[in-house]
């Protein structure tokens, strides 16, 4: 096993980087001779049984059933994990003073997300913002995002007994 995505079905079954897989659904794997991916074909969203061990001599081998994720769900999981790691990094390095927003695309739904997030008390209380646009395929909301980021406060409302809010 060369890698295990956090929060994946494999992760939840305690499969770890460095483990050895000996069989898939009863088919023994022979080093370099078995087409591993062929054994997984047609099994998306189904449980597959694997024999796995943390050592090469099968000393601690165990059988586990793991649901094979479809590629779209797997990519979504990787994306979520990437955001979680980036948020954690910004929080640690920024000592809690920096907000983090990731825009997946520059489309209307992303603009709605941006507007809702940038206006939250959590983001407004920060001293700085990291706007992460990595791997963003584009779209047409860049002007609206820039407009929001460059606005200046022109008024503040203070309802009796309530919290002040910017206009």
Residues 50-92: tens digit of each pLDDT: 999 999 999 889 999 999 999 999 999 999 999 999 999 999 9
CB neighbour class for 127 (10 Å; exposed up to 12, middle 13-18, buried from 19): exposed
**What does the alpha-carbon distance between residue 122 and residue 91 come to, in Å, rounded to a whole number?**
12
Who wins on pLDDT, 32 or 135? 135
Per-residue pLDDT at 145 exceeds 80: yes
pTM for the full model? 0.75
- Residue 145 CA, chain-centre distance (Å), reads 23
Residues 104-131: tens digit of each pLDDT: 999 999 999 999 999 898 998 999 999 9
Per-residue pLDDT at 148 exceeds 80: yes
**What does the alpha-carbon distance between residue 107 and residue 129 come to, in Å, rounded to a whole number?**
20
């Amino acid at each position: 096993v060369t890698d295990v995505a956090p929060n994946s079905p494999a992760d939840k079954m305690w499969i770890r980087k460095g483990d050895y897989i000996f069989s898939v659904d009863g088919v023994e794997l022979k080093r370099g001779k078995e087409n591993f991916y062929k054994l997984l074909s047609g099994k998306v969203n189904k449980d597959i049984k694997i024999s796995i061990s943390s050592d090469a001599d099968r000393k601690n081998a165990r059988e586990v059933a793991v649901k094979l994720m479809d590629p779209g769900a797997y990519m979504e999981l990787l994306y979520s994990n990437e955001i979680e790691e980036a948020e954690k990094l910004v929080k640690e390095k920024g000592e809690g003073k920096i907000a983090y927003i990731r825009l997946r695309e520059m489309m209307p739904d992303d603009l709605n997300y941006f507007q809702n997030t940038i206006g939250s008390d959590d983001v407004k209380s920060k001293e700085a913002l990291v706007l992460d646009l990595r791997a963003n395929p584009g779209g047409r909301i860049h002007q609206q995002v820039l407009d929001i980021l460059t606005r200046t406060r022109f008024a503040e409302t203070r309802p009796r007994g309530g919290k002040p809010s910017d206009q």
